Amino acid sequence: MKKRRKIQLFLLDLLYPNQCPCCHRKIPWNRYLCDMCQTLFQLPPDTFCPGCGKPVESCFCERGPAYDHAIAAALYQEPARSGILSLKRAESKNFAYACGEVLGRMVIADPELLAYDLIVPVPMAKRKKKKRFFNPAEEIAREMSSATGIPLRADLLEDTGTGAAQHTLSAKERAANTGHFQIPQTADLTGYRILLCDDVLTTGSTMNRCAELLKSRGAAVVTAAAATTTPAQEDS
C-alpha cells in the first residue's frame, strides 16, 4: 500500500471506522477485506478458462470472443457479490482496491502480461457515473495500474448510452445493448497490447464490444481482466 493511500485510509478510519465491504465486519484501517472474505480470492488456479475468463464449466470460447485471453480474480457469488454491490452503491472503494491488487499480482506473475502497454477500463455512461460517484471498473483498473506500473487510459472508450443496467437484460438484449460504446476515430492503438478491465464478466458482450473497438483502432492483443465472473447457473 502506497504512503498516500495509508494516510488517507488512516484518517478516514477516524471518521468512519473501516468495514469489510463484503460482510460489514469492522476491520483495521489498513485492510481492504476481513480475513474470512479475503479467502474469496483463494481459488484453484484452473478455476477460470484462460481464453474467455468464465469458470471452465461455462467456457464460451467456441463462440469466439473478440478478446484474446482473460484473467479473473473471483467468482461473482457471496461474499464477492456484496463487495461488487458496495462499489455500485459507492459505499467504499475497498473492494476495488482488493480486486485490483489481486489482478495486479496475476499480471506481475506473467511476464507476457506485464509487458502490456495499457490498462483500459470498461467505461460508464457519464450520467450514471455522476450518480454513482465513480466507475468500479475504473477504480479496479487504476489499482491494477499502480500495482503493475502499466499506464491507465480511462479516456479511450466512452459509453454514450443512457446507462440501462446490463444485468436487467437477457443475454440477447445485452449483446444488442452494447452499440453505445465508442472510441475516437483518431485513436491510434497500432500494435498495442491492452488489458481491458471490468468488475463483472457475465455473457462477455460488454468485454467483446470494447475489445472490438480497441482492435478496430489497431490493438494487437486484448486480454480481458475481470474482477469477478458469474458462475454457470447465473448466465441465463
Q: How far is the CB of 22 from Zn ion (least distance, A)?
A: 4
Q: Does 189 bind Zn ion (CB under 5 A)?
A: no
Asked if 181 contacts 159 with a C-beta cutoff of 8 angstroms, the reply is yes
- What three-state secondary structure class fits 17? coil
Rounded to whole angstroms, the Cα distance separating 182 from 159 reads 6
49 binding Zn ion? (CB under 5 A): yes
- 59 scored as a contact of Zn ion (CB under 5 A): yes
How far, in Å, CA of 24 to CA of 28, rounded? 12
208 exposure class (CB count in 10 Å sphere: 0-12, 13-18, 19+) = buried
37 scored as a contact of Zn ion (CB under 5 A): yes
Q: Name which of 148 and 229 has its Cβ closer to Zn ion.
A: 229
Among 9, 19, 51, 104, binds Zn ion (CB under 5 A): 51
Going through 135-219 in order, the beta strands assigned E by DSSP cover: 158-159, 181-182, 193-201
**Residue listed under C-alpha cell 474467455:** 52
Q: Three-state SS for 214?
A: helix
- Told to check if 52 binds Zn ion by CB under 5 A, we report yes
**115 contacts Zn ion (rule: CB under 5 A):** no
Of residues 5 through 24, those in contact with Zn ion by CB under 5 A are 20, 22-23
**Which of these segments, 60-68, 155-163, 171-179, 210-218, binds Zn ion (CB under 5 A)?**
60-68
Residue 67 or 192: the one with the smaller Cβ distance to Zn ion is 67
Interface contacts to Zn ion, rule CB under 5 A: 20, 22-23, 34, 37, 49, 51-52, 59, 61
